[in-house]
Chains A and B, each alone.
Chain A
């Protein structure tokens, strides 16, 4: 068991998050998919920090990412609330105001 395993788990987790992001129509699920991807990245950071570089910088980045993720969720959920008020739906395929 080593970095290979964790790397594989990270990539798989990221891909699942990505697929969720692309395939789902529910905005809340999309935000959760983003969280999944962030977690995958965090996992990779810690793994690389532990096995590949052998210093704690990667863990620091994980902290930073966690903070940013928390901020992102706060803002993202605020946006969702505003969106829901505005469009009365959570379906992203229907929220296409930016269509050119």
Chain B
């Protein structure tokens, strides 16, 4: 793919992502939020493709779009909450906190950027590109990161059981 095409795709995706992300947090209707989130997820998958990580993009779509968002929709439909008046907080202090938080985030990001690039900038300069085919990822995942992989499976199990237990109606609830 040519660089200019990539540039164009990047900018389209970028604008879409940010617009949709703002839509997620600004929509007064919860369903609209979920739909916006869907757009963000898809755009993120596009970014991954752009960065030459098709496996991640694939899982992004499967897990986030296929599972997580559907779960959100389920819950919203299940509870069918009256969400009127649940939009933005109108308190000045909350807004101040939000602005300060963003400032802090930016500073933290800048610091991370600084420390990361100080040591690894030569890679960027030499334009090293990783060979991140599904084969490479699998080899690393099932050798170096095997323990973490297994632990994650355990975590999933615990989360599933936990979610079950938490939503189970106790005897007091029923009465």
Contacts and interface: CB of A to CB of B under 8 A. Distances in A.
Contacts of A16: 18, 21-22, 24-25
Given A66-B64, A74-B159, A23 B81 contact: no
B67 interface: yes
Contact of B120 (A52, A67, A93): A52
Given A51-B124, A56-B137, A81 B64 contact: no
B68 A69 contact: yes
Contact of B59 (A47, A50, A56, A66): A66
B55 interface: yes
Interface residues of A, number: 72
Interface in B123-137: 123-124, 128-132, 136-137
Interface of B: 3, 6-7, 10, 14, 17-18, 21-22, 24-25, 30, 33-34, 37, 40-41, 44, 47-48, 51-53, 55-56, 59-60, 63-64, 67-68, 71-72, 75-76, 78-79, 81, 83, 86-89, 94-95, 97-98, 101-102, 105-106, 109, 113, 116-117, 120, 123-124, 128-132, 136-137, 140-141, 144-145, 148-149, 152, 155-156, 158-160, 162-164, 166-167, 169, 173
Given A23-B89, A66-B59, 7 more contacts: A7-B113, A9-B18, A16-B18, A46-B48, A51-B123, A60-B137, A63-B141
